[in-house]
Amino acid sequence: MANLAIAGGEPQRQQPYPSWPIWTQAEVDAVQAVVTSGRWISLQGTEVKQFETEFAAYHDAAYGIAVVNGTVALKLALTAAGVGVGDEVLMPGYTFVATATAALEIGAVPIFVDIDPETYTLDPIHAATLITPRTRAIVPVHLGGRPADMDAILDLAQEHDLAVIEDAAQAWGSAWNGAKVGALGQIGGISFQASKNITAGEGGMMLTNDPAIGEMARSLSNCGRQTDGLWYAHYVLGGNYRLSEFQGAVLRVQLQRYPEHLERRQANAAYLERSLAEIDGVSTMRSDPRVTANAYHLFFIRYDADAFGGVSKDRFIQALQAEGIQGVSGGYSLPVYRQPVMQAENFGLSTPPLFHGVHPNPPDYREVALPATDRACDNEAVWLRQSMLLGDRQDMDDIIEAILKLQRYRDELQDD
Ligand SMILES: *Cc1c(COP(=O)(O)O)cnc(C)c1O
């Protein structure tokens, strides 16, 4: 008689985990108020402006510039920070593809840095070895909400005169040494896409403390206009990347709810970390007192196949899902440099890539191999999504019990 659900036994649980997005009548009322106001565009209304102010304040940043999504936020942030064609930009190989495509779209050259396997964020020691005279910027990604090592990254940037552009797409409310991320360097980008911890379906924001960079970011997102310029005077190559008032109104409501959600995710994550430490074959990220807040957009579990009779990460995840732990996944199945687009340098409108002919020896991404990044994708990283962490203690206990069950009956995991 089988014990594991994947082998025909009873699953650990039947109930679903909290669904996402979470909304109440407050979101409906906010959208309705925008509809009936007739002011649907941020240039006329006040919702996006107020959201920018409120979100920037929440993130300890002087300026917030809302845009259509996180990818655009990163692309414009890189441009506003002075990154251009042929400039090398250091970034982790373990991230969402947009970190790299944002750079490629403006002709910059992504240079992939390995991750620290115990934090899944950019390894500053490896980054230092990749700096060349063409390196212009570094993009730490606060993956899953955990701040990258900003002490080391800011030091490295200062030493080599690099711009620091944070990819804080997953890190609303995350803090390093008590300071919220996003504007710790020159500028940062945030996302409000549907899966993220605050959402209006789509949306993004740039955060900065630098007034000149903020003005440039605003101009790039508003058709190249200048704050005091004529309406039909366009000064830089910008586009219309403005967020609508409907989205601004929803995001303001979501932001009000956010501190409570952040607390709950962190409390559940701390409980999971303590409990999983007791189980052979799984581990969590290294704790660091400098991480003073973590958005936990993702909760990472490191899977060690050796402790589970050598079964693959994919099989382990299928078995957890069969136990009713919906929302667990293997995350990014490929490092960015192994994505088909990168391997083939299939850069669409700009094929060959914009940087060819500018950069003397452009990288061949087929030659990139980063051990910790490859291992995370292929063998090790197991993700729990943020909405699961909004559950109660029983919801967390089921995750722990299911993993214990797989550990105990690991012989049943063999699929041959
Ligand atoms: C979501 C995300 C982005 C892109 O944001 P979009 O709003 O989807 O364009 C960029 N980087 C990371 C790490 C992300 O998770």
In the chain, the number of structural domains is 1
Our answer on whether the CB atom of 141 is closer than 6 Å to any ligand 1 atom is: yes
Is position 268 within any domain? no
The whole-model pTM stands at 0.97
Is position 372 within any domain? no
CATH code of the domain in which 214 resides: 3.40.640.10
pLDDT band at 352 (very low <50, low <70, confident <90, very high): low
Is position 328 within any domain? no
CA–centroid distance, 55 to ligand 1, in Å, is 17
Our answer on whether the CB atom of 95 is closer than 6 Å to any ligand 1 atom is: yes
pLDDT digits 0-9 by tens, 400-416: 999 999 999 999 998 75
CA–centroid distance, 354 to ligand 1, in Å, is 22
Is position 219 within any domain? yes
**Phi, then psi, of 113 in degrees rounded to 5:** -110, 145
- Taking the C-alpha atoms of residue 42 and residue 244, their distance in angstroms, rounded to an integer, is 6
CA–centroid distance, 195 to ligand 1, in Å, is 10
Domain encompassing residue 170:
25-255
Using the atom order of ligand 1, give the atom closest to the CA of residue 72.
9
Asked whether residue 168 carries a pLDDT value surpassing 80, the answer given is: yes
pLDDT digits 0-9 by tens, 268-285: 999 999 999 999 999 999
Q: What is the pLDDT of residue 416?
A: 57
Our answer on whether the CB atom of 193 is closer than 6 Å to any ligand 1 atom is: yes
Is position 231 within any domain? yes
Is position 182 within any domain? yes
Our answer on whether the CB atom of 69 is closer than 6 Å to any ligand 1 atom is: yes
Q: Identify the weakest region by mean pLDDT among 1-5, 114-118, 219-223, 353-357.
A: 353-357
Using the atom order of ligand 1, give the atom closest to the CA of residue 74.
10
CA–centroid distance, 415 to ligand 1, in Å, is 35
Q: What is the mean pLDDT of residues 88-109?
A: 96
Is position 272 within any domain? no
pLDDT digits 0-9 by tens, 2-48: 999 999 999 999 999 999 999 999 999 999 999 999 999 999 999 99
Distances (CA, A) of 185 to 119, 151, 328, 403: 20, 11, 33, 39
Is position 326 within any domain? no
Q: What is the mean pLDDT of residues 153-157?
A: 98
**How many helices (H) and strands (E) would you count in the chain?**
12, 16
Our answer on whether the CB atom of 197 is closer than 6 Å to any ligand 1 atom is: no
